Amino acid sequence: MSEVKKIAVIAGDGIGPEVVAEAEKILKKAEELFGYTFETEHALFGGIAIDERGTPLPEDTLEICRSADAVLLGAVGGPKWDNNPKELRPETGLLGIRKALGLFSNLRPAVVFDCLKDASTLKPEVLEGTDLMVVRELTGGIYFGEKLRRQGEHGEEAVDTCVYNVTEVERIVRQAFEIAGKRRNKLASVDKANVLETSRLWREVVNRIAPEYPQVELEHVLVDNCAMQLLRRPSSFDVIVTENMFGDILSDEAAMLTGSIGMLASASLGEGSYGLYEPVHGSAPDIAGQGLANPIATILSLALMFRMTFGYEDAAAAIEAAVAEVLDAGHRTSDIAVDKSKAISTTEMGDLIVAAIRKA
Ligand code: NAI
Ligand code: MG
């Protein structure tokens, strides 16, 4: 018997429970096929937690997350809670959980599935072979620096401050080198070192750490140039590491290479192997409860968990191959279907992927 891996499962609101249920079927299949053992514990979070417990992030949910090896999250939020005061909003829980669990990086893979190349707005020949990962710093930079309003010489002024310390840069840069070393050994560090002091510090730290990873080919790319190169030559990137605001913008740009938000996975990592895995999309209240949601983003997030937290590369690769096989066979949920009348449901997509998972 393999070691028991504990997973905190947070379904959340809207389509969250629908897509998470499909990922749980995959967990079961991975146990049968690969002999792994998972112990799942469900926890309340988001709007449903506000309704039942009066807070988006109950203390026992945090306890369940802390005692697990990884967290699988669906999505939270919805119109029902939109006009609540800040502390009673589902999104406040999202910031709170990342902070409480010490998660400092957000990873977003952008993979173009061959058969979905025509779903993107870019030319298929530009997208060919695109398989990149944006590693975004989550805890520092201008989003968290001191902010103020004041009267200046020419009237009202606003100030945002961008601060990074060496420790914050080191931990994420090291993580990005590690990730690149397990992929295609290429790292692009993105900054604005020609103008910003924080970027100069960032680049110094990257250059200091680089010799520890001689097998990884490093390039420094200015952020404006990176925005262009992502559209010009996306397949030339492997891992991109960057600070918070640049990463926010570039990860959304990279996401659009792939077509649909229903396909995009993400991971948030802290020290060690602990991680929180979730689809990039939200709770999609417009389609909730109708069996229309694409479960692939959540299923691919689970594959990332297997790879990055558990080191179960065989199962991770098998899940990704199964997703590609089902798409290649022409099966589509309505978000990625050209002919919507032939679209399959959330559970049909989940079942097809489960059936396609094979041991190599
Ligand atoms: P959204 O991602 O929920 O939906 C945007 C559009 O994409 C909608 O038309 C939706 O139907 C579609 N869509 C999303 N996921 C899909 C899937 N798996 N399959 C098929 N179609 C899909 O973003 P929106 O509408 O801006 O936000 C809705 C709620 O979700 C809000 O309350 C928002 O705050 C919350 N939200 C939560 C996030 C999280 O839990 N991490 C992230 C983003 C938004
Ligand atoms: Mg964004």
| pLDDT greater than 80 at residue 2 | no
Neighbours of 289 (CB within 10 A): 11
Structure tokens of 200? 């100069």
262 lines ligand 1 (CB under 6 A): yes
| pLDDT greater than 80 at residue 84 | yes
What would be the CATH architecture of the domain defined by 1-107+262-360? 3-Layer(aba) Sandwich (3.40)
Question: pLDDT band for position 95 (50/70/90)?
Answer: confident
| pLDDT greater than 90 at residue 150 | yes
Neighbours of 139 (CB within 10 A): 18
Please give the positions annotated as active site: 143, 192, 224, 248, 252
Fold classification of 131-256 is Isopropylmalate Dehydrogenase (3.40.718)
| pLDDT greater than 80 at residue 177 | yes
Report the distance separating Cα 95 and Cα 92, nearest Å.
Answer: 5
| pLDDT greater than 70 at residue 96 | yes
Question: pLDDT band for position 118 (50/70/90)?
Answer: confident
Neighbours of 79 (CB within 10 A): 11
Ligand nearest to the CA of 254: 2
Structure tokens of 266? 């993400």
What is residue 331's three-state secondary structure? coil
| pLDDT greater than 60 at residue 309 | yes
For residues 294 and 333, the answer to whether their CB atoms sit within 8 Å is: yes
For residues 179 and 189, the answer to whether their CB atoms sit within 8 Å is: no
Q: For the chain, give the percent of residues with pLDDT over 70.
A: 99
Residue 339: predicted pLDDT = 87
Place of tokens 């090291």: 174
pLDDT digits (tens, 9 = 90+) for 210-266: 999 999 999 999 999 999 999 999 999 999 999 999 999 999 999 889 878 899 999
Place of tokens 């290429």: 186
22 lines ligand 1 (CB under 6 A): no
pLDDT digits (tens, 9 = 90+) for 326-350: 999 999 999 998 888 999 999 999 9
Residue 7: predicted pLDDT = 98
State yes or no: ipTM above 0.90: yes
Better-scored residue on pLDDT, 56 or 271: 56
Binding site for NAD(+): what residues are annotated?
A: 78-91, 282-294
Residue 1: predicted pLDDT = 54
Long-range contacts, 88-94 (Cβ 8 Å, 24+): 88/50, 88/54, 88/55, 88/56, 89/50, 89/56, 90/12, 90/13, 90/45, 90/46, 90/47, 90/50, 90/56, 92/56, 92/57, 93/45, 93/46, 93/49, 93/55, 93/56, 93/57, 94/46
* Residue 264: closest CA among 235, 292, 303: 303
332 lines ligand 1 (CB under 6 A): no
286 lines ligand 1 (CB under 6 A): yes
Give the strand pairing for 131-137 and 155-160.
unpaired
pLDDT digits (tens, 9 = 90+) for 275-303: 999 999 999 999 999 999 999 999 999 99
Q: Where are the domains of the chain?
A: 1-107+262-360, 131-256
Residue 88: predicted pLDDT = 95
Bridge partners for 131 per DSSP: 111
**Shared fold status for 1-107+262-360 and 131-256:** yes
Residue 307: predicted pLDDT = 96
What is the arithmetic mean of pLDDT over 121-140? Answer: 93
Question: pLDDT band for position 119 (50/70/90)?
Answer: confident
Q: Looking at ligand 1, which atom is closest to the CA of residue 334? A: 20
Find the helix or strand (DSSP H, E) in which 24 lies. helix 16-34
What is the arithmetic mean of pLDDT over 7-12? Answer: 98
